[in-house]
Chain A
Amino acid sequence: MSQNKKTFSIKGMHCASCVVIIERSLKKIEGVSQATVNLATEKATVTFDSGKVTDEHLSSAVSNAGYRALVIDEIKTESDEQREKQQELRSLRFKVIVSLFLGGLILWGGFPGLMKTAPMILQNFWIQLILATPVQFWAGFGFYRATISALKHRTANMDTLVAIGTTVAYGYSAFVTLLPELVTKIGIEPMPYFDTAAIIIGLILLGRYFEAKAKAGTSEAIKKLIGLQAKTARVLRDDKEIDLPISEVIIGDIIRVRPGEKIPVDGIIANGESSIDESMITGESMPVDKTKGDVVVGATMNKTGTFTFKATKVGSDTMLAQIIKLVQEAQGSKAPIQRLADLVSSYFVPVVLMLAFLTFAVWYDFGPAPTLLFALLNTVAVLIIACPCAMGLATPTAIMVGTGKGAEHGILIKDAESLETAHKINTIIFDKTGTLTKGEPEVTDIIPIGSMSEDELLKLAGSIEKGSEHSLAEAIVRYADEKKLALSKVEGFQAIPGHGVEGVIDGKRIIFGNRRLMDKEAIDISATMNKISEMENSGKTVMMIGVENKLVGLIAVADIIKESARDGLLALQKLGIEVAMITGDNQRTANAIGHNLGITRILAEVLPDQKEAEVRKIQAEGKVVAMVGDGINDAPALAAADVGIAMGSGTDVAIEAADITLINKDLKSVAAAIVLSKKTMRTIRLNLFWAFGYNVVLIPVAMGALYPFFHILLNPIFASVAMATSSISVVSNSLLLKRKKIV
């Protein structure tokens, strides 16, 4: 027997008696030895035999008591939702089959032209009444229940229209069947319309069935993200390796990950190295090599090596949890374009009901004989054709698919409004350091003058710079380390502010610094001036090294342009977007980098606190501006821009000032985000056009607007076909977004 202890959240507790009820319910499970519930923390801790008790047992014991257990938090909720949906779909499918089958039989026996081929029994009105009744009141029960509940709130929805429409058709038909002589007396042939009522219910339910299946596809991205979560972690505790559910991993735990395993939570590698596939989080297809001190992200896949890492973020703080939260929030937000649809749908159903009254009166008063029949059928057609759902679904389904698709590519969109604004962007300002460039200077050129080799020169520079704290010195020392050069001991090291450094190595005086240092020391650099200028003009910082007052070499250091920068900017230019660069660097360095990247609008020597003002200046030119930065130093500029785009760093994705966060750090994603926005907006517009157009055109047709000119009327059965397809077409159109290429 293996004892296991588990703590999980309970939802729905109010008082101390709840504690007693839940504890009693949990203790009743066979295999549970102890159960304590804490009202303050809303948590239960249960000790149980893991061979006998499963999460399901715990969860159902709590729900039987009338509360909800979050045994595996989000995942649990999702599976609940899925189970409930599956059940609904099964029941819906059964109702569709039964109602279409019965409706089909009635249609066969009652439709002019077809009825001659039908058995006599189906032509009998009483049999039709018997067949139509279960469809109307069993399959169509949901319409009635929703109508009654809505009426209690003085609201109406699509169910109200369907319920009234089909009841009118069914009620008239039942009347004709029960009292045919009364109908004959007023000059109408007693013909029932049971087929209309039954087929409408069958088709609308069929439409709902397909709509529900399609809608499930719109939230697939969230399900996929939740599915990425690892279930267990191999934690080293008390010199033992134990497998723990990730909910029990705490910050500071040392976790071992073997090849082919998922990294359970976020952390920093403590020992070992490996190649890690981060594509599921960042969308970046190439595996990343990581070693001691590097950050690893939960839910990514370890490919080759074994390593241990220290957990730094667990539970809802992990990058995956933050991404899920961000995507969920974006999917719950409202796009400004939706406002009109919102306004229309709040008046829609009552207005359709009023139009139905109008239709009835006009056809009864002015229509051809039999006026009552025309009035009834056209009223039913108006009630059935109206489709407010398509309008309600047009924007949110596209937003859900769009934001989900973004997340799959490492593009996290904060809300629907940001996604909407992004398609209008016509100018993008890039912060230089850390965004277009790597932000860490690297050695680009080593030019010995005289007999020294490149390595000897680097060794000398690395040795003298070892004691310096300057960022350029760091680049040189790091490069010497990478080349595994053994650095020499320096005596008498001294930094000369604004100039460079000096010291003595192996008895020789070494100086290392800029031109001013050489001038000060009266070292002749005239022979290398062309080379120095050439390098400086291309944005590099050139440093000179002198041994015993003689120039022995040059070392150039530069902030390297990111590999994805050129392609990223090219993609933006192809979209017709103007690109600008903003930097605190001097004009010459800025120009060098800018020209290298094909940027013409360069804003150089801008102090960090002036970046926001520069953004506003460009906005004042009437431009819709996006600012791309790291989200930390340039937060005010990001917030001032119409769309702030932050390049993610580390495991923090919730960058407050950013509207869009690119967690893959790939500059090509800037263009991809804009393309995604454009395609999503196109889908929304098409959806809204279809949803509005459908109602605007077909409601008057159903009212009989074409009758005076062409004698065209809309059969209520065709109205139900059109109505059922309208919502599906809108949802399917949104789902098509998934197939669109954005990169």
Chain B
Amino acid sequence: MSVDKIIITISSVAGIAFTYWFFLAKKDTEIQVFDSVDIIVDGGYSPETISISKGKTTKLNFIRKDPTACLEEVVLGDFKVRKYLPLNQKITIELTPQQSGEFVYSCGMNMYHGKIIVK
């Protein structure tokens, strides 16, 4: 095998490993929320993982800064909420979870994800 081929092979393997590490091996940073939280929608959700209390009403204020059509809706399927997020406006979703557990929410096309941990 020629040198260029060896370099390409090694680079591709490294690329695959990097892709796995970068996208699939990331760790969630959990933010504890008490009453309300501003979630910035820009290429994803920040903070991405929040924990809220069971039985208590928490306000999630979504502020979309990213014009990508994919992010124009947020879907909290487990809480039966599908909301249109107008650009640069605060849209508040109130949740009073009755069950504990981990609930994933997403954009309307299910490409971007966030997580709500109910404790």
Contact = CB atoms under 8 A, between A and B. Distances in A.
Nearest to A365: B5
A357 B19 contact: yes
B77 A334 contact: yes
Interface in A324-380: 328-334, 338, 341-342, 345-347, 349-350, 353-354, 357-358, 360-361, 364-365, 375
Given A361-B12, A389-B109, A81 B44 contact: no
B108 A361 contact: no
A146 B70 contact: yes
Given A156-B23, A157-B112, A358-B12, A149 B44 contact: yes
B1 interface: yes
Nearest to A355: B16
B90 to A, nearest CB: 5
B92 A77 contact: no
Interface in B34-73: 42-46, 48, 66-70
Contact of B69 (A88, A338, A358): A88
Contacts of B76: 332
A12 interface: yes
B41 to A, nearest CB: 9
Contacts of B20: 350, 354
B98 interface: no
Interface string B83-97: 110110110100000
Contacts of A360: 8, 12
B5 A364 contact: yes
Q: Of B46, B68, B83, which is in contact with the most chain A CB atoms at under 10 Å from its CB? A: B68
Given A157-B111, A350-B20, A150 B44 contact: yes
B80 A330 contact: yes
A153 B46 contact: yes
Contact of B43 (A152, A333, A357): A152
A236 interface: no
Nearest to B81: A332
A11 B92 contact: yes
A154 interface: yes
A460 interface: no
A77 B44 contact: no
Interface residues of A, number: 58
B contact patch SS: mixed
Given A153-B43, A332-B77, A77 B8 contact: no
A331 B90 contact: no
Contacts, number: 141
A155 interface: yes
A355 B78 CA distance: 33
Contact of B12 (A11, A146, A357): A357
A145 interface: yes
B56 to A, nearest CB: 20
Given A347-B24, A360-B8, A415-B80, A392 B110 contact: yes
A500 B84 CA distance: 64
A364 B68 CA distance: 35
Given A149-B43, A360-B8, A81 B86 contact: yes
B75 interface: yes
A393 B48 contact: no
Contacts of B69: 88, 208, 212
A68 interface: yes
Nearest to B111: A157
Contact of A84 (B19, B22, B46, B87): B87
Nearest to B83: A332
B82 A331 contact: yes
Given A146-B68, A329-B81, A155 B109 contact: no
Given A151-B43, A156-B23, A357 B111 contact: no
Nearest to B9: A361
Interface in B12-30: 12-13, 15-16, 19-20, 22-24, 26
B8 A365 contact: yes
B113 to A, nearest CB: 6
A350 B24 contact: yes
Given A142-B68, A208-B69, A332-B76, A342 B110 contact: yes
A391 interface: yes
Contacts of B80: 329-330, 332-333, 415
A350 B20 CA distance: 7
Contacts of A11: 90, 92
A84 B69 CA distance: 11
A597 interface: no
Given A333-B80, A334-B78, A393 B109 contact: yes
Nearest to B63: A12
A332 B75 contact: yes
A347 B46 CA distance: 20
A341 B66 CA distance: 25
Contact of B109 (A80, A350, A392): A392
A389 B111 contact: yes
Nearest to B90: A12
Q: Kindly list the 8 A-B residue pairs having the minimum CB-CB distance in the complex, ordered from nearest.
A: A149-B43, A334-B77, A332-B82, A153-B44, A361-B12, A392-B110, A350-B23, A392-B109
18 contacts: A11-B92, A12-B89, A84-B87, A142-B68, A146-B68, A149-B43, A149-B68, A152-B42, A154-B26, A156-B23, A332-B79, A332-B80, A333-B80, A346-B113, A350-B22, A357-B16, A364-B5, A416-B77
Interface of B: 1, 4-5, 8-9, 11-13, 15-16, 19-20, 22-24, 26, 42-46, 48, 66-70, 75-84, 86-87, 89-90, 92, 104, 106, 108-113
Given A12-B89, A341-B110, 9 more contacts: A148-B43, A149-B68, A150-B112, A154-B23, A155-B23, A332-B77, A350-B20, A357-B16, A360-B8
